Structure 1
Amino acid sequence: MKFWQLVSVCRDEPELMERLAGGSEWNEYLEWFRDFARLVRDGDRSRLDAELPTAACVHVLSASRLELFESGRYLRSRRAGPADRKVTAVEVLSRYGGAFLEDLLEAGLARLPDDANGRPG
């Protein structure tokens, strides 16, 4: 997951990014978050597009109150019906990747990938 994608996913829960202080190897990313507006203003692609360690993303997202719902071949950011299965942000990250999770939250709906490994094609 790219740094900017994690920030975007946490846009409604920015305090989650403070969890990066939980591992000394992640302190650099916390500093980037605290300076995010400047990184965007300066177009610092090396930091914004940096791939974060999966463990850091899981650590941050494991405290999220975000509710996502699986229904047939779709994931939604809101429940559509009583048969929808609730899934966590960590589950979506693990199964489909950070770009998929960010796109889902941006659009509110995403079609599940068809390929065997669960990753978008």
Structure 2
Amino acid sequence: MNNTATFENSLISLSYLGKMLLVDYKKRAIIDLKAAKKSIQEREKFTKNAPTLIIADFSKIEYVTTEARSFFAGPSNKTTMATAIIISSKIQEVMGKIYIKFNKPKTPVKLFTRISDAQEWLQTFIKS
């Protein structure tokens, strides 16, 4: 695994933080179903479909549609082992809690305000 690799398009940038993949969503993005599918497709191509621990930085996102939340939670997300979502506002926290409670993601998901805390939590999923 090349941990210095990066990828960027108009929606996301991808890079590795150790063994974790940082998915950084662009400022003021609105994630609809098409954007959700594209981000998963780019992520799987970037990781070569390897099982992946994800840090998804949603702190700059404006909104995620209902269809996109369902897609992210569903079985289409085959290679994700666990996801730490970075948030920066009370509104994002509420949206994140709704996502976890009602969309019931197929893999562990937790909300964080700091990347370092997210990394610490994801570390527990790495087999020694």
Q: Same fold (TM over 0.5)?
A: no
The structure that is strand-richer by fraction is: 2
The structure that is helix-richer by fraction is: 1
